[in-house]
Structure 1
Amino acid sequence: PRHSRRRSRHGARRSCCVDRLRIGRACAPGSPRIDGGQRLTFAGQADAVIPAGAEIYSDPVALSIAPGADLAISVYLAEAANPQTGHPGARATNFTTAGNHVADPVLTDATPTTRWYSLADVEVGAAPSAGTIVAVGDSITDGYGVPADRNTRWPDVLAERLRASPSTRALGVVNAGIGGNRVLLDGLGPNLLARFDRDVIARSGVRWAILLEGVNDLGVLTRDTPVTPARHAGIVAQVTAGYAQVVARAHAHSIKVIGGTVTPFGGNDYYHPGPASEADRQAINTFIRSSGLFDAVVDFDRVLRDPAHPERLSPAYDSGDHLHPSETGYRAMGNAVPLTVFDGATRSVIGASAPVPGGPAADRRPAIALTFDDIPAHGPLPAGQSRTD
């Protein structure tokens, strides 16, 4: 198949020059040895400038790879890129070394790191029957706690199952999890509403998105101090309204959205949730299960919770921090997504015993789009005023 690389400067305020870029096959997960490879170019040129906040694509190349194989993308920057666009939770070993060594079959004297830098994604040419599933979420989707190079996040488990089934082996999974991500507010990266178009809609061949977000919105609300009942009611309303926003956007692009229920986090020492936080979680999960907003629902809460203490993760699936699942828990999550959900079947709640309301009408789409950005030249809109454009 033919491949192209997308490199990013999202979040950066200065441009970055990519001087050399190469793709090959990793000899083994976490190994600095590379099997073969090809030089990548940009409109036929070896180098390119990525403007601040932008993305660029490499020219496509032909490279045969096995489904699920690890790739090695080598980049050389002659000048420092500071700050550097990256992903801190790669759960994979990467290597850096001084000098231009992108064509070397092995990086000697390289320093290992578990971060990714600049690479936004790899697009793979495929048959018309192929499609992409984007798992969008927080650190639970990002695989917090998974040892490097084991590829045992729940989206990895789902991808493994898809490849093993003849009816779904043409489907690929993109992991768009960001640690600490929230529906409403920025954290380590942009909030869900700010990044959904970039991370889901703008990707090629996306037919489904699996959405698992909300636990950090609930946790941050009361992490430092208790809040009023009105604030609790407000967070539930705002999170569920955020879900409706991204589902409407996805449906406008013929992308189906599978909602994942928010998993338990009772007993977590970072968020120390109380009964009010648990009530918020239950309210959001009731909305996910029964509102009819989503095309299907996977009840991750039911999969992971302790039956005796449903506000907590089951000890069998708890990593130990009472928020993130263990590898066993992630495998249970990946196994909980039935592959039949991707065959166009009618809406269902996985594991539900009662009928589920139908999804929204196909023509329910946003009438207008509003945006907010911190650009001083635009001038302020004072509080308490209306504006007509």
Structure 2
Amino acid sequence: MLSRTRKTAIATTVALAIGAGTTAVAVDRTQSAPAAKTAWSAAWAASPQRASVSFRPNWSEAGFDNHTVRQVVRVTAGGTRARIRLSNAYGTSPLQVERATVARTDKGAAVRAGTVRELTFSGGKSTSVPAGGQLSSDPAKLTLAAGEQVTVTLYLRRTTGPATFHAQSFTDSYRATGDHASDGSAAAFTESTESWYYLSGVDVTGTKQASGIVLFGDSVTDGFASTPNADRRYSDALAARLKSLGKPRPVLNSGIGGNLVLNDSAWYGERATTRFSRDALDLPGVGTVVVLEGLNDIGYQETTTQPTYKPAPNITGRDLINGHQELIRQARAKGVRIVGATLLPLGGSDHYGKRAAAASDEFNHWVRTSGAYDAYVDFDKALADPADPERLHPAFDSGDHLHPNDAGYRAMANALNPASL
């Protein structure tokens, strides 16, 4: 039975949005300089997580020992200088980085000739990141364009122990034995996973930037079920849309698959109310945050297929509202604009049941009517099936009735009114 709120909220039409040996290259070691007071803009971000085997096999629990890790990211802002941010948030000992480089991406683990820049840290090529800490490199002269792929390479000579990482990157990262930080070719990088390790950000400077937009949430924001190695998350679609409208802005993805608003999880990250400052409000140059989170809080109480989060507490719509009000308070205290989002339809998924449906309806009604947020976006309405508004439209459903496909992520980007941002 459909609730009255959902029946009135769903539009009668939905706009489909379907619309051979290692080669070393010369490394420029003169391109880095000690960091000065500079106006930085976050151009890419990933939220750190504790080492785990969540979702699929990865290297986080074993860590690294005399390995070079090469990671590819897509920046949404351009500049003439770049720096990286490293996180050892969940390390139990200092992380020793022997060398680090940044370059423009060629294909896979290969980088473009002549673009490799040796990164320094307070003037030295090696650094130690304290347990529980983070740090930024010195700036390197490297001209990047918004939408370009960037390759960051870390040589980790010493045993690291379990690695702080981001579990679901939907982009391949690569590993080689020994020091291959300066390699131009991909030959030595014979292993790969879909996770990012220690790398939490790439920042740019040297060009004027509009304030950044952080998309904060769970697996839907993270891009679950989007096409791997294709940059088709909702954050990618939003950055492309704003650029096409002549209103480019940095768009940062701070989603964590499985994340909850109100409770911590060993696999799914610290609760949203705890990680909000680190992963959203404190990123360089951020002016707006869009919050989409809560399906896991209300859905884990329904599912029997999530053994990593049991027993799940019974979370009501009011509980979820209280959590979001705390996020609003934190954003207002930092002077950051905050946009709320209704929860997507979840009918037919393993998160669906009477309690979850009631909590979702109560929460979505509050988002639409309370005025608590500076603005809101109605993803529930934009992605629902008119024939059954409790469910995702079939054209937007990845198949699990919970996560959008590539077309669904484009529909989410199209649902956001640029004026609200």
**Shorter-chain TM band:** 0.7 to 0.9
Say whether 1:282 aligns with 2:354. Answer: no
Partner of 2:322: 241
Say whether 1:259 aligns with 2:340. Answer: yes
- Unaligned runs of 5+ residues in structure 1 are 226-230, 343-389
CA root-mean-square deviation: 1.6
- Map Cα deviations across residues 85-120 of structure 1 (whole Å, 9 max, x no partner): 111110111110001011110131421221100001
Mapped partners of 1:129, 1:89: distance in 2: 28
Mapped partners of 2:407, 2:355: distance in 1: 29
- The equivalent position to 2:172 in structure 1, one of 93, 97, 103, is 93
- The equivalent position to 2:392 in structure 1, one of 310, 313, 318, is 313
Mapped partners of 2:241, 2:273: distance in 1: 29
Say whether 1:335 aligns with 2:414. Answer: yes
Mapped partners of 1:320, 1:289: distance in 2: 28
Mapped partners of 1:190, 1:265: distance in 2: 23
Say whether 1:62 aligns with 2:141. Answer: yes
Q: Is this contact kept in 2: 1:101–1:107, CA < 8 A? A: no
Structure number with higher relative contact order (C-alpha < 8 Å, ≥ 6 residues apart)? 2
Q: Is this contact kept in 2: 1:67–1:163, CA < 8 A? A: no
Q: Equivalent residues in 2 for 1:93-132 (5 A)?
A: 93-110=172-189, 111-127=191-207, 129-132=209-212
Say whether 1:183 aligns with 2:261. Answer: yes
- Map Cα deviations across residues 320-345 of structure 1 (whole Å, 9 max, x no partner): 10100111111111111122223xxx
Mapped partners of 1:31, 1:49: distance in 2: 25
- 129-138 or 205-214, which deviates more: 129-138
2:394 partner SS: coil
Q: TM-score, normalised by structure 1?
A: 0.82
Mapped partners of 1:340, 1:125: distance in 2: 25
Name segments (4+ residues, structure 1) moved above 6 Å: none
Mapped partners of 1:235, 1:20: distance in 2: 49
Partner of 2:56: none
Q: Is this contact kept in 2: 1:138–1:178, CA < 8 A? A: yes
Aligned residues: 331
Mapped partners of 1:57, 1:11: distance in 2: 17
- Unaligned runs of 5+ residues in structure 2 are 1-79, 306-312
Q: Is this contact kept in 1: 2:109–2:186, CA < 8 A? A: no
Say whether 1:212 aligns with 2:308. Answer: no
- Map Cα deviations across residues 152-185 of structure 1 (whole Å, 9 max, x no partner): 111100001122232x22x100000100011011
Partner of 1:4: 83
Mapped partners of 1:31, 1:103: distance in 2: 12
Mapped partners of 2:403, 2:175: distance in 1: 30
- Map Cα deviations across residues 27-55 of structure 1 (whole Å, 9 max, x no partner): 13x34334422110110011111111110
- The equivalent position to 1:174 in structure 2, one of 252, 273, 282, is 252
- Map Cα deviations across residues 254-296 of structure 1 (whole Å, 9 max, x no partner): 1111111100111113x3x222311110000011111111111
Q: Name the aligned partner's letter for residue 123 of structure 1.
A: D
1:197 partner SS: helix
Partner of 2:378: 299
Q: Is this contact kept in 1: 2:214–2:280, CA < 8 A? A: yes
Mapped partners of 2:188, 2:129: distance in 1: 28
Identity of aligned residues (%): 36
Partner of 1:84: 163
Mapped partners of 1:126, 1:205: distance in 2: 13
Mapped partners of 2:383, 2:166: distance in 1: 27
- The equivalent position to 1:38 in structure 2, one of 117, 121, 135, is 117
Q: Is this contact kept in 2: 1:34–1:72, CA < 8 A? A: no
1:95 partner SS: strand
